[in-house]
Structure 1
Amino acid sequence: MSASATESETSEQPVPVSDSQTFHRAFKDLRDGLRQRELWLSLGWQDIKQRYRRSVIGPFWITIATGVQAAAMGLLYSALLNIPLKEFLPYVTVGLIVWNLISASILEGSEVFISNEGLIKQLPSALSVHVYRLVWRQVLFFAHNFAIYIVLLFAFSIWQNMSWTALAAIPAFVLIVANTLWVSIVFGIFSTRYRDIAPILGSLTLLLFVLTPIMWTTQALKDQGGQAAERVKLAELNPLYHYLEIIRAPLIGTDQQAYHWYIVIALTVVGWAVALLALRKYRARVPYWV
Structure 2
Amino acid sequence: MSNLFRDLSASIRNPEFWALSGWLDIVVRYRQSRLGIFWLMAPAIIYVWGMGSFFASMQNQSIVAFAAHMALGYTLFRLVSSVVIESTSAFTAAGSFIMDGHVRLTDFVLRVLAKALFYFVASIPVVVIALALYPGVRWEGLVFALLSFPLVLANTLWVGVLFAVIGARFQDLSQFIGNIFMFAFLLTPIVWKADSMPVDSIRGTVARFNPLYHMVEVVRAPILGEPLEPLTLYYLAIMALAGWVLAALVYRRYARFVPIWI
**Percent identical residues:** 28
Q: Does 1:31 align with 2:9?
A: yes
2:155 paired residue number: 179
**Alpha-carbon distance, 1:221 to partner:** 4.1
**Alpha-carbon distance, 1:275 to partner:** 0.8
Q: Does 1:192 align with 2:168?
A: yes
1:141 paired residue number: 119
**Which is further off, 207-216 or 116-125?**
116-125
CA contact (8 A) 2:148 2:218 kept: yes
**Which is further off, 200-209 or 52-61?**
52-61
Equivalent residue in structure 2 for 1:211, among 158, 170, 187: 187
CA contact (8 A) 1:135 1:181 kept: yes
1:44 paired residue number: 22
2: CA distance, partners of 1:58 / 1:123: 34
Q: Does 1:261 align with 2:233?
A: yes
**Alpha-carbon distance, 1:123 to partner:** 4.2
Larger radius of gyration: 1
Tell me the SS of whatever aligns to 2:186: helix
* Compared CA separation, residues 100 and 34, structure 1 to 2 (3 A): same
**Alpha-carbon distance, 1:250 to partner:** 2.1
CA contact (8 A) 2:69 2:220 kept: yes
CA contact (8 A) 1:236 1:242 kept: yes
Matches within 5 A, 1:222-241: 229-241=201-213
CA contact (8 A) 1:112 1:184 kept: no
CA deviation vs aligned residue, 1:234-256 (integer Å, no higher than 9, x gap): 21122210111001112323222
CA contact (8 A) 1:99 1:244 kept: yes
* Compared CA separation, residues 78 and 287, structure 1 to 2 (3 A): same
**Alpha-carbon distance, 1:30 to partner:** 1.7
1:170 paired residue number: 146
Structure 1: 5+ residue runs without aligned partners?
Answer: 1-19
CA deviation vs aligned residue, 1:194-245 (integer Å, no higher than 9, x gap): 12322211111111111111111232345xxxx9x54222211222101110
2: CA distance, partners of 1:195 / 1:184: 15
CA deviation vs aligned residue, 1:117-158 (integer Å, no higher than 9, x gap): 111111435110111111011111100111111112223345
**Which is further off, 61-70 or 268-277?**
61-70
CA contact (8 A) 1:109 1:185 kept: yes
Q: Does 1:69 align with 2:41?
A: no
Q: Does 1:115 align with 2:100?
A: no
**Alpha-carbon distance, 1:111 to partner:** 0.7
Equivalent residue in structure 1 for 2:64, among 67, 86, 92: 86
Structure 2: 5+ residue runs without aligned partners?
Answer: none
* Compared CA separation, residues 147 and 256, structure 1 to 2 (3 A): same
2: CA distance, partners of 1:65 / 1:206: 15
1: CA distance, partners of 2:197 / 2:161: 36
TM-score w.r.t. length of structure 2: 0.93
1: CA distance, partners of 2:139 / 2:230: 17
Q: Does 1:271 align with 2:249?
A: no
Tell me the SS of whatever aligns to 2:88: helix
CA contact (8 A) 2:141 2:224 kept: no
2: CA distance, partners of 1:26 / 1:211: 32
Letter in 1 for 2:255: R
2:105 paired residue number: 127
What is the total number of aligned residue pairs between the two structures? 261
Backbone CA RMSD of aligned residues? 1.8
Tell me the SS of whatever aligns to 2:31: coil
2: CA distance, partners of 1:221 / 1:272: 30
TM-score w.r.t. length of structure 1: 0.84
Letter in 2 for 1:272: W
CA contact (8 A) 2:98 2:259 kept: yes
1: CA distance, partners of 2:43 / 2:5: 38
2: CA distance, partners of 1:163 / 1:27: 35
1: CA distance, partners of 2:111 / 2:171: 22
CA contact (8 A) 1:121 1:287 kept: yes
1:12 paired residue number: none
Letter in 1 for 2:167: S
